[in-house]
Amino acid sequence: MTSKELILKNIKENNIVKEVPLPSYENFGIKFDNKFETFAQMIESVGGKALVIERNDLDKTIQELYPDEKQIASNVDFCSLGNFNSNAQDDAHNLKDIDLAIVKGNFAVAENGAIWMKDVGNIHRALYFIAHNIVIVIDEKEILNKMQIVPFSQIKGFFDDDLNHALEVFKKDCQKSQRYEELKNVCQKAQHTNDGAMFFVSNFQAYKLYDNNSNDEGMITGYYEPLLYGSLKKTQRYKYPVYKIPKDLVLSNVNSLQGYKNIGKKVGKKIVPYDTRASIEKNPNNKNLEAIAYVDDKIDLFFLQVQGSGKIQLDTGEILNVGYAGQNGREYKSIGRYFIDNEIISKEEISIQAIKEELLKNPSKIDDILNINESYVFFKVADQGATGALNTILTPKRNIAVDRTYIPLGMPVFLNTQNPISKEPINKLTVAADVGGAIKGEIRADFFWGFGPEALNYAGRMKEKGKLYVLKPKY
């Protein structure tokens, strides 16, 4: 036996791996008994203070805490203490004498005391840093247990993806983000590179999203750009109107519109919530409603509203692109839930295709079922195809719709899910570029499949579990 053989023999004989039981995943993840108490402790550790305050007591409590502050800026609609309009200032330097800023937070993380804000109602990000004191108002139920930093090497399929293609989509979308100041540095860098893997790894940190119960899986659905058939004129065949924004629709923050997305109409001297779907459908001669075109299928029109944009092939052969222009302020309600709750379609089999099939079986019930969803979407003629909330053309299989309370539009988001038909893995770096009435929650996304029958086939059937990783700029 040679010396080499002898060494290898000794290694084999002595390198005995003991059988060690694997750790239990039964209670995996951080879950605090009291998320608020943990969050409060983290805030206090850095010199802050966290309080639970009833909405009606907000003004009184702030006055007690800050009795001497004279110049107050606020973007919280149910706080009346603001006496300085920071948004009216062209120059952020004019904010230097603000004693107190009262601002909205979107969600918080108990694990580290972090608070996410999306600048709604505030055009000067400097306000957060320049004010002598700051009060951040956040709904207590929007405190999450954790957000986990994850190395890119531990994200399933990250380096197997076409990251160069993802980079090109990011270059397009990041420039339109309302969080552009946060993305400005990396967005500018992106324009001068073609190496996707190097760009994302060097400039971003990945965070795995968890829900309030510390689950890391949520629901991933799909959407597509529908094709409808129509005419610019109402005929016997083409009789269902695709409406523009109503002339009488108004935006207001009056108390009567709380819970209606501040959308309503004026009736006499009062502002009231805008009409429901049923009311709009029952009044086709409403002088405040103007049709872009008329289509031949009421059900397809309903799903056009759910999708938010689409194409209409006119009887002249012309293709008309239509995009989301507004909504009636009513809450979106899924008609799929009706079919599941009434045991007409099982939860496992629910899809656009299955819903349409059941509706056509009972034509007398179509209106009643569609009207369960009081939300009604209005459209505008678009110069281009499917456009998301970022006002950029959506890229098939690279853009997703999200709840922007948790994921800012323009942010790269890595998605782990699967194809609804083949069940093959979908591991893709996408960009959050759209929103949707049914897209609510931390781990919730709508995957854009594109245009045409094939896209419908996948999107209509997609209802898969998935994980989301938000990529936030390092600098």
Structural domains in the chain? 35-143 (no CATH), 148-222+389-473 (2.40.40.10), 245-289 (no CATH)
Find residue 206's DSSP bridge partners: 150, 471
Q: What is the mean pLDDT of the chain?
A: 88
Q: What is the mean pLDDT of residues 290-314?
A: 94
Query: pLDDT value at position 424?
Result: 97
Contact 322, 269 (CB under 8 A): no
Contact 263, 257 (CB under 8 A): yes
Query: pLDDT value at position 251?
Result: 92
User: What is the token pair recorded at 60?
Assistant: 């009184």
Compute the Cα dihedral for 115, 120, 125, 129 and give only its sign. Answer: negative
Most confident of 131-140, 212-221, 284-293: 284-293
Greatest Cα pair distance, the chain, in angstroms, is 104
Which of 99-113, 205-219, 224-238, 344-358 is predicted with the least confidence, judged by mean pLDDT? 99-113
Phi, psi angle pair for 335, to nearest 5°: -75, -20
Mark 282-320 as b/e (b = at least 16 C-beta within 10 Å): eeeeeeebebbbbbbbebbbbbbbbbbbbbbebbeeeeb
Q: What is the mean pLDDT of residues 154-172?
A: 97
Find residue 382's DSSP bridge partners: 321
User: What is the token pair recorded at 389?
Assistant: 């909330």
Q: How confident is the model at residue 25 (pLDDT cuts 50, 70, 90)?
A: very low
Burial of 399 (0-12, 13-18, 19+ CB in 10 A): buried
Query: pLDDT value at position 15?
Result: 57
- Among candidates 164, 163, 190, which has minimal Cα distance to 175? 190
Phi, psi angle pair for 250, to nearest 5°: -130, 155
* Residue 192: C-alpha distances to residues 11, 48, 173, 188 (Å): 52, 41, 15, 7
User: What is the token pair recorded at 285?
Assistant: 């001669």
Contact 346, 340 (CB under 8 A): yes
Which of 11-20, 154-163, 368-377, 390-399 is predicted with the least confidence, judged by mean pLDDT? 11-20
Rounded CA gap, 283 and 277, in Å?
Answer: 10
Higher-pLDDT residue of 254 and 16 is 254
- Among candidates 234, 394, 247, which has minimal Cα distance to 309? 394
Query: pLDDT value at position 4?
Result: 65
Higher-pLDDT residue of 23 and 43 is 43
Rounded CA gap, 436 and 360, in Å?
Answer: 26
Is residue 333 pLDDT above 80, yes or no? yes
Q: Which DSSP string do the residues of 158-190 spell out, in sequence order?
A: GGGS-HHHHHHHHHHHHTT-TTHHHHHHHHHHH
Q: Which DSSP string do the residues of 251-296 spell out, in sequence order?
A: E---GGGTTTTTEEEEETTEEEEPPPHHHHHH-TT-TT--EEEEES
Is residue 291 pLDDT above 80, yes or no? yes
| DSSP 8-state assignment for residue 387 | B
User: What is the token pair recorded at 23?
Assistant: 């750790």
| Residues 6 or more apart whose Cβ sits within 8 Å of residue 334 | 373, 438
C-alpha torsion 396→400→401→405, nearest 10 = -160
Is residue 9 pLDDT above 80, yes or no? no
Is residue 14 pLDDT above 50, yes or no? yes
User: What is the token pair recorded at 411?
Assistant: 């942010």
Q: What is the pLDDT of residues 415-449, one digit of tens each?
A: 999 999 999 999 999 999 999 878 998 899 999 99
